[in-house]
Amino acid sequence: MDEARRAMVEEQLRSRGIRNHRVLDAMGRVPREDFLPSTLARAAYDDRAVPIDEGQTLSQPYMVAAMTEALEPGPTDRVLEIGTGSGYQAAVLSLLVSEVFSLERIASLAEGARKRLNDLGYSNVRVRTGDGSLGWPEEAPFDGIIVTAAAPEPPRSLLSQLSEVGGRLVVPVGTRTEQDLLRVRREGDELETDTLLGCRFVPLLGEEGW
């Protein structure tokens, strides 16, 4: 699996333009196979999204890398993830920032991810069950917020929980079937939005989602 992981980093990430060395390094360290149902572990380093429990999906490695790079994770950052799923994205983030908060609406997924992250020693991640479209106000503000499900528009609650000095929100926005990955940067009251790439995510369900 180590060899498959190295090949994934070179062939799917570096050669397609992922430049951030810390992101490449983190993705070269997290055992993606440990976040998948055992019957799908063989597909861990395939160039595609993989189904997890409850009809959800773990994104293609390239998409995880592109979103993580877009978040511009810094070593002292506190980051919020919406859509814990398997916990894989949270594990990648945990190697890059100081604290990760992750929200998942399906309790069984949150529990599974919490156990997996704990067993693998990712100790700076907190997982909670709840509607992530409303964020985690008790822990705000965040230097970065990453949404791994598709929203009709950037949720207002999440924008309000960004740090006023350069907080970044990375979120797929569009219809239920097709989206653009957006990065919204907050500077005081100003929001600056970049459109990064086309993508397809499962819908963000909830008060400020679908």
- Rule CB under 6 A: is residue 61 a binding residue for ligand SAH? no
Half-sphere exposure of 129 (CA within 13 A, CB side): 9
- The answer to whether 98 is a known catalytic residue is no
Cβ–Cβ under 8 Å, residues 153 and 127: no
Please identify, among the stretches 13-21, 37-45, 129-137, 171-179, the one whose residues bind ligand SAH according to the rule CB under 6 A: 129-137
Among 132, 135, 172, 174, binds ligand SAH (CB under 6 A): 132
Single out the segment in contact with ligand SAH by CB under 6 A; choices: 24-32, 39-47, 78-86, 118-126: 78-86
Q: Tokens standing for 135? A: 């964020």
Q: Does 206 bind ligand SAH (CB under 6 A)?
A: yes
Tokens 């599974």 found at: 112
Interface with ligand SAH in residues 98-127 (CB under 6 A): 103-106, 109
Q: Are strands 57-58 and 50-51 parallel, antiparallel or unpaired?
A: antiparallel
Please answer whether residues 109 and 36 qualify as being in contact, where contact means their C-beta atoms are separated by less than 8 angstroms.
no
Task: State in angstroms the smallest separation of the CB of 100 from ligand SAH.
Answer: 11
Q: How many other C-beta atoms are found inside a 10 Å radius of the C-beta of residue 38?
A: 8
- Residue 151: strand pairing partners: 173
Rounded least distance, CB 189 to ligand SAH, Å:
26
CA distance 54 to 39: 15
Span of 7-15, 55-63, 158-166, 186-194 interacting with ligand SAH by CB under 6 A: 55-63
Interface map 135-174 toward ligand SAH (x if CB under 6 A): -------------xx-------------------------
CB atoms within 10 A of CB 209: 20
Q: Shortest approach of ligand SAH to residue 64 CB, angstroms?
A: 7
Kindly list the catalytic residues: 59
